[in-house]
Amino acid sequence: MRELNPGQLILVDQAESPLYDVQLELSDHWEGVDVRVLVADIANRSRMESIFGQYMPQLVFHAAAYKDISMLDEYPDEAVRTNVAGTKNVVDLSVKYRAVKCMMISTDCASVPLHVMGYSKRLAEMYVQGMSCVATSENSCTKLMVARFGNVYPHDPRSLMTMPEACQLLL
């Protein structure tokens, strides 16, 4: 992320404790970068509209999601609300406020969904892909992308992309 040389970094999360931890880490290592931390739920359209309208982000990394398979099997409505509707909000607002690029971080569980979490992430991916076509046809300047990440086990023969490599896709 450092290679992107941001003038301002806006972090949005609904979990305030991890957000605070990241803020402390960034203040120690990213002097000179204006770091803003905002507590918000991506499924809250009006709150997200306010954030996009105020900050007009150029690059959007969308990694917000519920990820616990067993919990989401028990609460499928929350999986859909956050993983699908929340993604729709982020993507729609990225296009509306003319972000240059928006990358959704997904999971390898979306490739062959077996649980609610995988299905919800696959639906979100499909929305991003569909909006990519719409954004292009409407002459939007926003490039929409999806990158899948998964659990990597020792000696796993698959070739996977690291987070820094994924960030390079936005350059």
Domain assignment present for residue 46? The answer is: no
Q: How many domains does the chain have?
A: 1
pLDDT tens digits along 59-93: 999 988 888 889 989 999 999 999 999 999 999 99
Domain assignment present for residue 125? The answer is: yes
Long-range contacts from 81-86, C-beta under 8 angstroms, 24+ separation: 81/43, 82/41, 82/42, 82/43, 83/117, 83/120, 83/121, 83/123, 83/124, 84/120, 84/123, 84/124, 84/127, 85/43, 86/41, 86/42, 86/43
Question: pTM for the whole thing?
Answer: 0.85
pLDDT tens digits along 26-51: 888 888 889 999 999 999 999 999 99
pLDDT confidence of 123, banded at 50, 70, 90? very high
CATH of the domain at 114: 3.40.50.720
Amino acid at 44: N
| Residue 113 belongs to domain spanning | 60-148
Distance CA 118, CA 83 (A): 10
Residue with tokens 């739920």: 41
% of the chain beyond a pLDDT of 90: 50
